[in-house]
A and B are shown apart, each in its own frame.
Chain A
C-alpha cells in the first residue's frame, strides 16, 4: 500500500574518529601526548619524583646538572626535576578549574541568550560586554586584595574574566543552530526550550565547546603562572611552575638559569600543546558543521 523507498544504500560515511584524527594531524597527536604526560604528572607526579621536592638543602643551592639530577638544584637546593613533577598538580589544577567554571557559566549564559533572543539576549550581551573590559589579571589582583592571595581566589577571578569569551563564541554557534528548521519542528511538537538546548543544541555545538575549552586551558595556565609569579596565586613553598620562575629568577643573572628556565619551558610546552590541539579541534569543529 505504501510507496516503498527502495533506494540503493548510499556510500558509507567515513567514521568520525578517522576524520578527527586526520584533522588533528601528527602535530596534534604530539600535543595530545604532551598533555597526557602533564596530566599524569599532575595526578601522580609526587610519586614519580626521584627526590624529596620539599626538603631544602642550602649547600646544594643552584648546583648545576649532575648525573642523577639532570636538571640540577634550585635556589634552596631541591632537585628541580622532582620539584617540577610535584608542581605539576597545582600548575594544572588551577587552569582546569578556571576553564571548568568559565565554560559552565559561559555556556549557560550563551544558551539562555540564544534561546530566548530578544530582550534577554540584549541584556546578557550587554553584561558580557561590560565584563570584557576587565582583564583577568586585574580581577585576580582585586580578588587577592579582597580575599587574600591564594590559588582559589585567583582561579575564581580568572573564571569570571574568561566567561564572556566563552559566551560570545558559544552564543554565535547556538544562535545558528537554534535557527535551523529542525529546532522549529521540535518547538512545534511542544518540546521545552531546556530539553531542546540540552538534547540538541549542546551536542551539536559540543565540538566547538571542547575546542574552546582546550585552547583556554593554555591561556589560563599562562595567566595563573603570571599571577603566581606576582605572588598573588599559589604561595611558596607549595611547588608550582609559576612560583618556581619567581623563586629562581635571581639565578639567571648569576649564571644559574636552569631552574627558572626549566619551569618556564614546562609552562610553554604545555600551553603550546593545548593551543595546538585546541586549534586543530576548532578547525575540525568548523568542518564538521554540515
Chain B
C-alpha cells in the first residue's frame, strides 16, 4: 500500500539491504478477539547501518523487533514479508531458524527478566557458542572474556564466575550486549536497552554500541521512546505511531526538518534542558495502539494540530520527499512550518 519504495530515505547506498520488512501486519489475540498491533510496516536496513525506531506506548516498536526475531506470542497472525539476506524469515524452521538466531541478536530493556538467575554468567554466555558452533569450553570462555573487555568489563574472568544478582543493572546490560555479540551477529535488535539505566551509564552504553558496530560491521535497529537519543546515535530514524511508520528521515535532518506533524509535536512536547517555557506544547489526547486508532482515516488525525477534512477521509500512504518518508498527505505543504506551529 506504500506509494514510495522503502529505499527512499537513504542518503547514500551501503549495498543491498540486509533486512527488509514489507507490509508487516500483526494481529494478536486479546480476550478472544484478534487485535491489530502493527499495520503495514515497511523498513529496510543496510549492513552496518543504524536505524532508530521511535514511538510511544502502543506505537508497535517493540512488536516490530519481536516480529523480526520471531518472538511473537502464540496465536499471532502475521501478514507481510520479512527477509534477511534474501531469506524469508517467516518460513524458517529448525536448524535454519537456529542459524538465523545466531545472525540476529536481541538485547532487551530489563536484563534481569531475560537471564536465568541460577546460572553463572559464564555458562549463559558461552552456551550458544558451545552448542551451535561446537567450540570447546575454554575457547568459548576466552572469547567471552575478550568481548567482555570490549564492553568495558576488565575483570572478565571473575565476572564469568558470578551470578546475575551479583551485578548491577548497568553491568548486567553490558554483559547482555557482550553475550549478544559473541555469536558474531550481523544485526542487533536493541529494544530500549538503556531506558532503565542512568543517563551516565546510558551514555557509556550507547558509546559502546557505536564502537562495536563499527568494529563488527553490525547493523542495528535501536528502539527507544527518546527521539533525541535515537537521532543522536542512528544514521536514520523511523517514527512510529499506532502501529504504523509515520516518518523515516536521516537523523541529521529529523530535528530541524521533520516531515510529519507527530514527529514535530513529539519533539516540541519535550522540555528543554536549556530553558524554561511557561507551558510545554502538549499534544492533546493520548497515544493509541493500532487497534484503538480510527481506521479509514489518518491515525493521528484526532490529535493533530494541522488536521483537515481530507485527513479524515482516507488513510494516508507513505510518500517520499526530501530524501525521507512521511505518512501525511499535507507533508509537502507543511514542510518547514512544522517547527513553528504549536498545539
Contacts and interface: CB of A to CB of B under 8 A. Distances in A.
B285 A3 contact: no
A14 interface: yes
Interface in B249-288: 279, 282, 284-286, 288
B284 A6 contact: yes
B282 A7 contact: no
A11 interface: yes
Mostly, the A contact residues are loop
B333 interface: no
Contact of B285 (A7, A11, A14): A7
Contacts, number: 16
B292 A7 contact: no
Contacts of A3: 279, 282
A8 interface: yes
Contacts of B279: 3
B342 interface: no
Nearest to B35: A11
B285 A8 contact: yes
B170 interface: no
Nearest to B294: A8
Contacts of B302: 8
Interface residues of A, number: 8
Nearest to B291: A11
B166 interface: no
Given A8-B288, A8-B292, A8-B302, A14 B31 contact: yes
A8 B58 CA distance: 13
Contacts of A14: 31
B292 A11 contact: yes
A77 B328 CA distance: 90
A21 to B, nearest CB: 13
B305 to A, nearest CB: 14
Contacts of B286: 7-8
A11 B291 CA distance: 10
Contacts of A4: 284
A181 interface: no
Interface string A4-18: 101110110010000
Interface string A132-148: 00000000000000000
Interface string B23-39: 00000000100000000
Nearest to A22: B32
The 8 closest A-B pairs by CB, nearest first: A7-B286, A6-B284, A14-B31, A6-B285, A7-B285, A8-B285, A8-B288, A3-B282
Interface of B: 31, 279, 282, 284-286, 288, 291-292, 302
16 contacts: A3-B279, A3-B282, A4-B284, A6-B284, A6-B285, A7-B285, A7-B286, A8-B285, A8-B286, A8-B288, A8-B292, A8-B302, A10-B292, A11-B291, A11-B292, A14-B31
